[in-house]
Amino acid sequence: MLYMVECDFSDRENEGAWNEWYSGPKLDELLSMPGFIATQRYKALTDCPAPYLAIHSIESPSVFANPAYKAKGGGRFGDWEPALMTNWSRRLFGPLREMPDVPSGSLLAVSEDVNADMPDDALQIEGLDWATVSQYKDALALDASVATRLIAVIPESARVKWQSSAGVRLYAPLTEKRISPPE
């Protein structure tokens, strides 16, 4: 299952330091928790309200009820003021168990329009419905409004082609895909 978190960071002067924290200690913390499989962060290549995207592969929504997640994971922002992270959106998607790796030299193409012009190998992932996420909604401010997303890993050399495709957002990886350490 994919836990997709989108946001913006409103303090441009400290954005680099925030990215360092989020891509380092924050991801380390999440990957140390039971049920987190892998993670990768991205930044949109075009203007959008929430240019930062983190995709966490998780076992199930039950990870959000785990005391370890509640104590040191979800909703914790280190020394950062939570108000600096704006335009939050948190969504759960399945049935894909783990997000494909988006290596350096590649981009992630995302669309919420199932009719968008996307690569032939695009994966269709389904947003979990309110019945599934409702018990976690208040704790995580989960959003179940996106029914379907298409995702594809494309070579950076194809950026121009897909950047002009209506309804498609392109993201460059900020981190390599990180895997949870073995227990």
Write b or e for each residue in 100-138: b if 16 or more Cβ atoms lie within 10 A of its Cβ, otherwise e.
bebeeebbbbbbeeeebebbeebeebebbeeebbeebee
pLDDT tens digit string along 57-92? 999 888 888 888 877 766 677 788 888 888 888 888
| DSSP-assigned letter for residue 107 | E
- C-alpha to C-alpha distance for 144 and 92, rounded to whole angstroms: 7
- Quote the distance between the C-alpha of residue 172 and its chain's center: 12
pTM: 0.92
CATH numeric code, 2-179 = 3.30.70
Domain boundaries, the chain: 2-179
pLDDT tens digit string along 8-28? 999 999 999 999 999 999 999
Are 31 and 181 spatial neighbours (Cβ–Cβ below 8 Å)?
yes
Are 2 and 93 spatial neighbours (Cβ–Cβ below 8 Å)?
yes
pLDDT tens digit string along 146-173? 889 999 999 999 999 888 888 899 999 9
